[in-house]
Amino acid sequence: MSEYCAGMIMTVNPQTDDKVQLTQLSSVIFAVYGTTVFVAETRNDAYVKVGGL
């Protein structure tokens, strides 16, 4: 997957505040697929990360 994907961005759900779970999941995704995973607090933060990839 890392050949086709520069990175993956997951956005925290403000209603459930799932940042801890997403952070834990990001290391699993990296181990399986070999692509960097970012956890963004807001959708705007995610757009900024996308611009940097």
pLDDT of residue 37: 93
Do the beta carbons of residue 38 and residue 10 sit within 8 Å? yes
Report whether pLDDT(1) > 90.
Answer: no
Report pLDDT digits (tens) over 8-30.
999 999 898 899 999 999 999 99
What share of the chain has pLDDT > 70, as a percent? 96
Cβ count near 37 (within 10 Å): 17
pLDDT of residue 4: 82
Report whether pLDDT(32) > 80.
Answer: yes
